[in-house]
A = this chain, B = another copy of it.
C-alpha cells in the first residue's frame, strides 16, 4: 500500500459540509470546478485526495471570513484529508502547495486552518532534520542540565558594533548561556554583520578562555543565500557556535540550503508568524507548521512565552512548545529546542516546567535579567535559581532564602 500524507483542518463552510470537504479534496488533487471526462474512476482512486474524517463541531449563523458562498448557516468541522505520496513525492515545497495551496480561497470555505500534519517516513529519508537539536546544543553551550538561560541584544537595532560587544561583555561576565541578535539586526551599514561577529566573538572567546565555557551567540544571518553562507563561514571562523535565521523571510529553500551548508546549530525565528496565525479562522496552527521547518533543519524554534507581551494565549504557547518537543513522526524524532521569550522572568519558570516536564528549552529574558539591581550576573543567577526551584518543586519564595540574587529579583519581577 502506498504511503499517504494526512492533514487535519478546522473548516467552516456555508455549503453542505460533505460537499465542501469533497471540493477541497478535489481541488487539491485530481478534481476541479467542473467534472472532467478524463478524471476516470481509476485516476481518482489512484490520485484523488480522500476525506478521512469529517465531524461537524458546531454551527454559526455568520461566516468568519468574507467572500464565501452566502448561507443561513455555517458548519464548523474537524476535517482530515489524505493524499497518496506519489502525487508529489517526499518534497517539502510541494507538500506546501498540496496541503496549503489554493484551498483557502475556495468559495465553499469561510474559515480554514491547518491543525495537524502526519507525514510518511519517506520525508524523514528525504530530509535530515536538525543537525544538532537538543543534545548538540547542550554540548556546544556547555549546559548539561537545566534550561539555557538566554537573552537578546537590545535595542534591537541601532547599537554600533562596539556597543553591541560591550553589551555582550557584561552578559558573558554574568555567565549567561545564550545570547541572540534581534530579528531586525542583520547586516545594516551601521552595525555590519562581519564586524559585529568579530567584535562579539572576541569578547566571547576571551571569556570562554577564562571560564572554560563558551556562551552560545545566535547571530542573525538572514539574507540572500550567498550572504547567509558567507556569514555562516565568518561566524564559524570566529569561533561562534550558532546562527539564527528568520524562517518566513528566507522560506523553506532558504532553510534547507542553510542546513546543508551549516556546521552550527540553526536558531529559527518565526518573525511574521502573526500573519499566518492571528485569525483563528485562517492559516496555521504551530504544530503542523513547525514540523515542516524541523524536517528542513531548524534546531531551535521560537514559541513565545507564558504571560507574554504579545496577543498569544498561554495554552497556545504550551501547545507550540510541546509540538516542538514531540517527535516529527514515529520513525524520526528530530527533536528541536523550544525558545521561550517575550516578557519572561523567573516567575514563569515554575508554570513552564510544570506544563512541559522538561528543561530542554532556551529561556530568554531581557528586562528580567538587565533590570536586576545587582547587575547582569545576578540577573542570570536569579533566573537560573528560579529554574532550580521549579525543577525541585520548591516554592520560589522559599528557594529565595538560599539565593540573594533570586531574592532581589523577586522584587522587580512582576
Contacts and interface: CB of A to CB of B under 8 A. Distances in A.
Contacts of A282: 274-275, 278-279, 282
A179 to B, nearest CB: 15
A186 interface: yes
A68 to B, nearest CB: 5
Given A97-B271, A101-B184, 6 more contacts: A46-B158, A101-B271, A225-B257, A250-B252, A251-B251, A279-B282
A34 interface: yes
A209 interface: no
A392 interface: no
Interface string A122-164: 0000000000000000000000000000000011111100010
B155 A33 contact: no
A105 B273 contact: yes
Identify which of A105, A227, A367 gathers the most chain B CB atoms within 10 Å of its CB: A105
Given A104-B274, A246-B93, A250-B253, A155 B279 contact: no
Interface in A228-280: 228, 246, 248-254, 256-257, 269, 271-276, 278-280
Contacts of A157: 29-30, 47, 87-88
Contacts of A155: 30-32, 36, 38-39, 43, 47
Contact of A272 (B33, B104, B156): B104
B158 A44 contact: yes
Interface in A368-407: none
A102 B32 contact: no
Interface of A: 28-34, 36, 38-39, 43-44, 46-48, 65-68, 86-89, 91-94, 96-98, 100-107, 109, 112, 154-159, 163, 167, 183-184, 186-190, 222-225, 227-228, 246, 248-254, 256-257, 269, 271-276, 278-284, 304, 309-313, 342-343, 366-367
A97 B154 contact: no
12 contacts: A30-B156, A32-B154, A44-B158, A47-B190, A65-B311, A89-B187, A89-B189, A92-B224, A96-B248, A96-B271, A104-B278, A276-B276
A115 to B, nearest CB: 13
B271 A65 contact: no
The 8 closest A-B pairs by CB, nearest first: A251-B251, A104-B274, A253-B254, A47-B158, A67-B311, A101-B271, A105-B274, A96-B249
Contacts of A39: 154-155, 158
A310 B105 contact: yes
In the complex, the count of this chain's copies comes to 2
Contacts of A256: 224-225
Contacts of A224: 91-93, 253, 256
A299 to B, nearest CB: 18
Nearest to A193: B89
A273 B342 CA distance: 29
B279 A65 contact: yes
A86 B189 CA distance: 5
A127 B256 CA distance: 22
Contact of A254 (B65, B252, B276, B367): B252
A90 to B, nearest CB: 10
A91 B253 contact: no
A106 B253 CA distance: 28
Contact of A310 (B43, B106, B112, B184): B106
